[in-house]
A and B are shown apart, each in its own frame.
Chain A
Amino acid sequence: MRDVGLAVLVTINLVVLVYFVLLNSVYLFTSMTAFRSLRRYTQRLKSVDVDEILRSGAALPVTVVAPAYNEEPTIVEVTQSLLTLEYPDYQVVIVNDGSKDRTLELLTETFELVPAPRAPSSDIETAPVRGTYRSTRHPNLLVVDKVNGGSKADAINAGLNFVRTPLFLIIDSDSLLESQALTRVSRPFLEDDRTIAAGGIVRIVNGSAVRSARVVDVRMPRNLLARFQVLEYLRAFHAGRVGWAALNATMIISGAFGLFRRSAVADVGGLNTDAIGEDIDLTIRLHRQCRENGLPYRIVYIPDPVVWTEGPENLKSLAGQRKRWQRGLIQVLTRNIRMLLNPRYGTMGTLAFPYYFFFEMLGPVVEVAGYAAFAATIILGLGSAPYILAFLALAIALGVALSVAAVGLEELTFCRYRRTSDLVGLFWLAIIENIGYRQLNSLWRIKGTFDYFRRAEGWGEMPRKGFATGD
């Protein structure tokens, strides 16, 4: 019996070791690809005049769709920020998804909304629309008031039904767009008509100074959990998404900030209302629709258009978010399992999908199994001190190296955290996140995996603070 237990333990340790080497090799590869890609991109930015799009009259009309559910603390500021974007031809559609708070009242009072009929441009099925309102102060603002449909996707679909422009932007109604973000994110659509979706970077706003719905001073958050998220987002966007985009395998256009060709999204029937992660679900369905029908297309990620979002500052909210992300990931990967290692889907099928399947989805299981086996090895006295030390040192060193590389990419490109103390803080976080935070994340994702298979649902409430912070 002892021999069997030992064999299991040895096997788990071996699997974890192999998994660990492979995972970090992928991270290293995407980081290196991202380095090359970001360097070229920043050089390219210097050779294009972004304002020229604004002056030329060539900008493609865009509708910004922001679903709002109980967004009383931020809705006015966010709407104001959306109405002051530097873009020549755009509309804003706020979808009040049956809010129980004063979201609609605040919008009505602030923007002087009046009931105004609006004919739909498409007929995607959604929960009933109670009414449409136009602002007497801002002719490009439309508010759609609807019955809560139980999902963000339903609210976006309701907005999409009223979009009349070739492009539409999905943004969370608790996020702040930088004023030039729309101009920048729309460029790929001008440069290549095959582009059907483009995403930009999402950054954590906590701690930064916000005035008149604009981030005026970028600072690191004071809250430790939010600080960890700053580093995580830098790693996920700079090293992850840029790297995958360079391989033409963008698998997620974030629901917090994504520009889509309206016709392409309407052709796939809008967003999936039963999808837990409606953003990754939509991106994958767009890939599939185009690949399976032989349609030329591009889905791209570009690193400079920025949207700022509030990150959870307590364990409960963060855990809820991470569990939901994991459930969404499992759902979309299992629904589209035919893409796995399928060359018909190009680099998406052969590289990105397997990565998300084996490392992002199954990763937490392997990781937690590894922690358990590692603990058992120590407790049962089966491993020598050098083994334990070497394993720990390698795990931490790799984690630190990859995080610091992401910070380096930020310095190489956009350098948004200007204070030296912020830079030092990011280095420090790169070390300490490996002890505790990383393990917590894996546990939450394991819980998310169980929840998915137990069909447990829930979004996890996140208390909103509003943006008037950081001064």
Chain B
Amino acid sequence: MEYPLGLPFSDRDFQYVTLAVLVVLACAVAFTLAAAWLRAANNRKQLRWARLQGQWEPVIIRVLAGEMPESQLRSLVPKKDERYFVGFLLRYARRLKGVEHDAVLRLAVPYLSTIARDLGHRSPELRARALQTLGELSILDYSNEFLQALNDPSPLVAMNAAHALARHYQPAHAVRLIRCLERFEEWNIRYLAAMLANMGPESAQVLRDAFRDRSRPPRIRAVIALTLASLNDAGSVDLATQVTEAERQTDLVIAALTLIEKVGGSEQLPAVRRLLESTDFAVRARAVTTLAALGTAEDTARIRSGLDDESNWVALHAAQGLRDMGRVDLLEELANSDHPRAVAAQEMLWEMRA
């Protein structure tokens, strides 16, 4: 019998289809075996990790308590488990402080060369991981490698190096670190500022020099301004004032205002007042907050007028400003009026009473 849609067994097309079915089935079987193998491998790894932890944990506690020599713990670490051991120490290094932390770092020293070899690995993830481990356990011995890693083609690797260098401040490192910030221009400025703030107040002069440098991108200068703000660096307040007068980029001006709010005084008020007229609502909002923090009684009306601003954000900042200045009278007056921002005033009063 002849079928219109037939593929007789002898037909070449049918043989192709059969082959395709077999190939796909083979793929399905291969995927199944791969998944089962992965499961078995994961289970084995977990069991091994649990066994090693079970061996090391009681000993490290006694070593850290000074009841047992470090060599005793090291004797429990066979060559093939060195990486596991470094991972194990890393967890303690992150949790401990002081002499116990130092003891963990000492324990790690003999095994770090194994980790350092990964710095030359072609996988950026492995390089980044090695930097992260070395950064926690022994950055001083590898500071050249960390400085080189700032130029690594992978931003992840460079960022891990930058983090570690920032945590272990040295003047020479700070200059290199700030120079490479442009590589991270797309990262969030708050994140970068938090990283740089780890360098501590000793880095203030280097940061000020960088903040002053107009050849740097505005966003990078904004990062530096936020860092100086979190370091409460009073010495940079004049620079911040100059920035608010000369620059227009929103992030930079807002960061400079934040710095002024933290360390400024009445000398900065004219510059801040001027920014209440900015065309950018975000700048106006920040200026209102800064003015509320530093301003005098004569600024109350200016802050109050922020509630008439077309932007909800400026109005909110103005209401918060009046709250921070303790101007219950003005807030009550607004709250009881039919002003379109009366709710903002009511909210601040509620917060003051809560």
Contacts and interface: CB of A to CB of B under 8 A. Distances in A.
Interface in A399-450: 400-401, 404-405, 407-408, 410-412, 415, 420, 423, 427
Given A401-B27, A411-B42, A193 B187 contact: yes
A387 interface: yes
A401 B31 contact: yes
A193 B163 CA distance: 18
Contact of A423 (B31, B35, B156, B193): B35
A43 B35 contact: no
Majority secondary structure of chain A interface residues (helix, strand, loop or mixed)? helix
A415 B37 CA distance: 12
B5 A10 contact: yes
The size bracket of the interface on B is 35 or more
Interface stretch (B168-176, B268-276, B339-347): B339-347
Contacts of A415: 38-39, 42
B316 to A, nearest CB: 6
A121 B24 contact: no
A387 B18 CA distance: 10
Contact of B189 (A193, A386, A405): A193
Nearest to B128: A47
A323 B226 CA distance: 51
Given A119-B343, A382-B5, A397-B25, A40 B312 contact: no
A89 B4 CA distance: 69
A194 B186 contact: yes
Contacts of A58: 188, 190-191, 193-195
Contacts, number: 161
A40 B195 contact: no
Nearest to B311: A121
A384 interface: yes
Interface residues of A, number: 60
A393 B18 CA distance: 9
Contacts of A117: 343, 346-347, 350
Contacts of A121: 312-313, 316
Contact of A404 (B31, B39, B126): B31
Contact of A394 (B17, B31, B195): B17
Contact of B188 (A13, A47, A190, A427): A190
B126 A43 contact: yes
Given A57-B194, A190-B187, A393-B21, A377 B28 contact: no
A400 B14 CA distance: 21
B4 A404 contact: no
A184 B223 CA distance: 23
A37 to B, nearest CB: 12
B74 interface: no
Interface string B86-112: 000000001000000000000000000
